[in-house]
Amino acid sequence: MSRQAEPDDQEGPPDRGGGIEALRRSSAFRGPAEPIEAHDHSNGHLALLYESRDEQFAATIPFVRQGLERGEQCLYITDETDGDAVLEALGDAGIDVDSALESGTLLVRSADETYLADGSFDLEESLAFLESTVAAGLAEFEGVRVAAEETWLLEEADTAEEFMALESRVNELFRDENCAVLCQYDRDRMPASILHDVIKTHPHLVVGRTVSQNVYYTPPETFFGPDDPAATVDRMLATVRERTEAKTGLREHERYLRELYETTANSDGSFEETVERLLELGCERFDLRGGALAHLPSWESNFRAEATVGPDMGDLEGELPVQPAEGNFCRRAITWDEPTAVPDVVEAGWDDDVVFEEFGLETYFGIRVTAGTDPYGTLWFYDTSPRDDPFTDDERTFLKLMGQWVSNELERREREQFLRTSYEITSNPDHTFEEKVDQLLEHGRDWFGFDIGYLTSVATDTNRFEVVDAVGSHERIEPGVTDTLSETYCQRVMDAGESVSVTNAVAEGWEGDPAYDTFGLDAFLGTTLEVDGDRYGTLCFGAQTPREEEFTDTEYTFLELMSQWVSNELSRRERERFQRRLYEIVADPDRSFDEQLQSVLDLGCERFDMKLGGIAAVDPETDRFEVEVTNGDHDHLVPGERYPLSETYCQVPVTNGGTSAITDPLADGFDGKLCAQRFGVRAYLGTYLELEEADDRTFWFIANESRDEFSEAERTFHHLMGQWVKYELERQQYERDLEQTVAQLQQSNDRLKQFAYAASHDLQEPLRMVSSYLQLLERQYGADLDEDAREYIDFAVDGADRMRAMVDDLLAYSRVEQADGEFEPVDCTAVLENVRADLWVAIEERDAEITVGSLPTVTADGEQLEQLFSNLVSNAVKYNESEPPRVDITAEERANHWQFAVADNGIGIDPDKTDRIFEVFKRLHHDEEYAGTGVGLPLCQEIVENHDGDIWVESEPGEGSTFYIELPKRTAS
């Protein structure tokens, strides 16, 4: 904010018109009250009416000094006074007289050198002189000031009339110029007739240090000759002075008000600092020695001085040493609305007061301050000597304003304190809701000054209320107590649907009413609690004694804030309770979807207060609505029943997408439709579930009674349930699809295996034929054949043998699943013994070392396990160039399975190829290097999978290989 230049401002810009406005800014002069612009007067022509030399200099010296300071040329015309005396006085006032004289800023001339230069006064010549002086001065300086002593008129009384004509015309001369002329008249010696004219010709008068707007000033054109008596002059002067002083007082009052405003509006300081500044301002304003803000904590206690200013206040700091019974000024002041103003304590007869006796306070000026409705203390000022004048209305107003500000501030502080404490209570994470409610009730009880605070839940339909929580002692208001609702104030609260208060039950006519008679609460304040938009109960405070003051808006606001918090918390808890129950239902693994769905529909009915919930398959294109599931009986909405979708409320969510609520069917245009007309449904909450790969559904709740709008929380909960239903329906659909695909795959797999089995089985016979006949051919005609032919036959026999081996292996492979699937306990150690016996030729041949660790008994197909280990051990010996080949078979027990390892020190396998070796007929070597069919490992895999296990290999070329097998632990089938 830009600061406006104020009239008191010493540093304002030099103003046009000069003198008088400048004087207003000078601390040496007081007045005039009104800004000069409002007047039609010439600006800078003043008459000083003095009675002594001191009085004369008291005005002329500051006048000249101010001019010099403002860079104006000052001409001092002396007559009776000696020029040197003037210079000395100027020097005393801090003016560098020599340099001022030297620069020509200051000129000191006698009357003889100026208008009496020709020996006698001449109007035209004097005018011309003044004109040229002003013109010359203005050409060089900021302005011109003339201070002229007019004592010479005493001797030249006959020229007085002519001189007055000059005075009159001077006004014209200075109009709109930065000039000021201060003409000095000795009031005592000048004849009244001259003074009369002086008053008429000067727009401004200076009397003492007061500059007045001269109401008797007569513009030149209406100027008449003087013939009024001296008495008139006196009267005139007195009037002028009174007026000016009144105006000056007004200005002063305004100035203090402004300062008061500025002090209180300045939000930088603390309350205490501001109060201290107010006290200082008050001392200045009332011209008193000191002041204090005193707090009276209770009627039984003493005042405490909370802020003090003044030289004697050291003694008064802290608790005022006055016993309550003895009283003191403040104790009187606190009981009165208006200021307590005692300018003279003795005169007022208050001299028996302790404060007077102990501290000698002879003037007291104080007012009560309040915090909210409660008296808080006093804001007071004092002096140790009596005051001459009574306290004025302005002063009283000023004190009242200060008191008001303090009261407002105290109330604000209390409000903040209340809110802060409330916040601390409600935001404490270590406390439960119940603990917080208890603390809030205590807090409210304290705040309202009541005996008890309590929270009720009400059931209007059964006319019962139950005290849920209570603090304070009251025999009938205890947690868990139930009673008849209609006989309580709570009923009134519920009826009103807003805050209800009683300050004095008897006075307000509650006597005879059970609400008062039963509980005996003389004062009461209560409001409603809502849970998710529904009436829940009340939050109340009560006292068994009447309360003096009405409840303030702030108190109502606090009650509302508390009830809002409690309502929100209750709503939140309610919501969480339902969400938890929903979660418990849908997360229960022991319940089927259908059972869960029934519970979810029941839960929704409870949550929304609805009669029936259900799911329907819908298709907007064919206008289909088919009831699929409901959680109760209904005449029409029965699973399997079909209706036109357009005749149902479900049409709305289907059209709009998402969730729709209908609480006023007629307003929504359902009049005459099946759902409203025949089914009698009055309230509906439904969601459209668009499902992927399945029929779209609607998920809804209905009631035959109309109800209020659904709250946001209810819609959210409904949406949540709808999402679960959608997810479950989709999941079921996916599962069905997946099962179908798996079944199809299984079928084609089975067909393939059947084919492999059939093919390998049926190929065996022709193959045997081929090799038998080839052998026959060799045996019978071998001698007739040449070397080549015999070699060819050998190749053919070889090929047939290899093919038979492959067919045999393939047959074994395709048989794995054909096994009867009966698993029984199999001792793996025994299995490995058989394997070793079977493979003894190869083992002996290579001189291989086979070590078998401690192996478990597992539930499995024994024959298949033997095939599995036989293949792995034979491969371990076969694909092995180490001497001797070593094979370690070990087993480790895990939580749910056994892990076997068959490790060798053989040639190893390229890690990139470890997957390929499990494919049928895939080999990493040529038959010439290592003979084989490429079916051994696929067979192993098939066996392991047949046991719901897993097989894999870890190997590096040249580092040996380890085949791992996991077999789940299971009991025999």
Q: Can you give the binding site for ligand ADP, defined by CB under 6 A?
A: 871, 875-876, 879, 904, 906-907, 909, 917, 923-925, 932-937, 961
**Shortest spacing between CB 823 and ligand ADP, in angstroms:** 24
**Shortest spacing between CB 936 and ligand ADP, in angstroms:** 3
For residue 960, count CB atoms less than 10 angstroms from its CB and return exposed for 0-12, middle for 13-18, buried for 19 or more.
buried
For residue 649, count CB atoms less than 10 angstroms from its CB and return exposed for 0-12, middle for 13-18, buried for 19 or more.
buried
Q: Round to whole Å and give the CA distance between 255 and 192.
A: 37
CB atoms within 10 A of CB 284: 11
Contacts of 912 (CB under 8 A, 6+ apart): none
**Shortest spacing between CB 905 and ligand ADP, in angstroms:** 10
Q: Round to whole Å and give the CA distance between 173 and 165.
A: 13
Both tokens assigned to 827: 């001792």
Contacts of 441 (CB under 8 A, 6+ apart): 453, 454, 455, 469, 470, 471, 472, 541
CA distances in angstroms from 207 to 52, 59, 147, 392, 640, listed in the order given: 12, 9, 15, 25, 111
**Shortest spacing between CB 848 and ligand ADP, in angstroms:** 12
3-state secondary structure 338-375: CCEEECCCCCCCCCCCHHHHHHCCCEEEEEEEEECCEE
The nearer residue to ligand ADP, 681 or 873, going by C-beta atoms, is: 873
For residue 691, which of 735, 725, 730 has the smallest C-alpha distance?
730
The nearer residue to ligand ADP, 178 or 941, going by C-beta atoms, is: 941
**Shortest spacing between CB 882 and ligand ADP, in angstroms:** 11
Contact at 8 Å (CB) between 686 and 714?
no
**Shortest spacing between CB 867 and ligand ADP, in angstroms:** 11
Q: Round to whole Å and give the CA distance between 711 and 69.
A: 78
> DSSP class of residue 822?
-
Helices (H), 175-301: 192-201, 230-265, 271-286
The nearer residue to ligand ADP, 632 or 958, going by C-beta atoms, is: 958
**Shortest spacing between CB 964 and ligand ADP, in angstroms:** 13
The nearer residue to ligand ADP, 21 or 942, going by C-beta atoms, is: 942
Both tokens assigned to 934: 């490429």
Q: Round to whole Å and give the CA distance between 883 and 474.
A: 100
The nearer residue to ligand ADP, 127 or 803, going by C-beta atoms, is: 803
Q: Radius of gyration of the chain from Cα atoms?
A: 58
Both tokens assigned to 584: 């418990």
The nearer residue to ligand ADP, 577 or 925, going by C-beta atoms, is: 925
**Shortest spacing between CB 875 and ligand ADP, in angstroms:** 3
Q: How far is CA 531 from its chain centroid?
A: 23
**Shortest spacing between CB 923 and ligand ADP, in angstroms:** 3
The nearer residue to ligand ADP, 297 or 884, going by C-beta atoms, is: 884
The nearer residue to ligand ADP, 71 or 911, going by C-beta atoms, is: 911
**Shortest spacing between CB 933 and ligand ADP, in angstroms:** 5
The sheet that has 374-383: what strands, in order across it? Answer: 318-319, 304-309, 290-295, 374-383, 363-371, 340-342
**Shortest spacing between CB 802 and ligand ADP, in angstroms:** 11
The nearer residue to ligand ADP, 551 or 879, going by C-beta atoms, is: 879
**Shortest spacing between CB 835 and ligand ADP, in angstroms:** 14
Q: Round to whole Å and give the CA distance between 133 and 754.
A: 139
Q: Round to whole Å and give the CA distance between 485 and 62.
A: 84
Contact at 8 Å (CB) between 275 and 406?
yes
**Shortest spacing between CB 953 and ligand ADP, in angstroms:** 8
**Side-chain-side CA neighbours of residue 197 (13 Å):** 22
The nearer residue to ligand ADP, 712 or 883, going by C-beta atoms, is: 883
Q: Round to whole Å and give the CA distance between 78 and 87.
A: 11
The nearer residue to ligand ADP, 586 or 909, going by C-beta atoms, is: 909
The nearer residue to ligand ADP, 232 or 882, going by C-beta atoms, is: 882
The nearer residue to ligand ADP, 263 or 875, going by C-beta atoms, is: 875
**Shortest spacing between CB 694 and ligand ADP, in angstroms:** 45
Both tokens assigned to 735: 């599962």
**Shortest spacing between CB 908 and ligand ADP, in angstroms:** 6
The nearer residue to ligand ADP, 269 or 958, going by C-beta atoms, is: 958
Both tokens assigned to 530: 């809502």
Contact at 8 Å (CB) between 452 and 470?
yes
The nearer residue to ligand ADP, 541 or 879, going by C-beta atoms, is: 879
Q: Round to whole Å and give the CA distance between 34 and 207.
A: 17
CA distances in angstroms from 608 to 241, 401, 685, 715, 852, listed in the order given: 84, 57, 9, 9, 69
**Shortest spacing between CB 890 and ligand ADP, in angstroms:** 16
Which position's Cβ is nearest ligand ADP? 932
The nearer residue to ligand ADP, 438 or 904, going by C-beta atoms, is: 904
Q: Round to whole Å and give the CA distance between 376 and 407.
A: 8
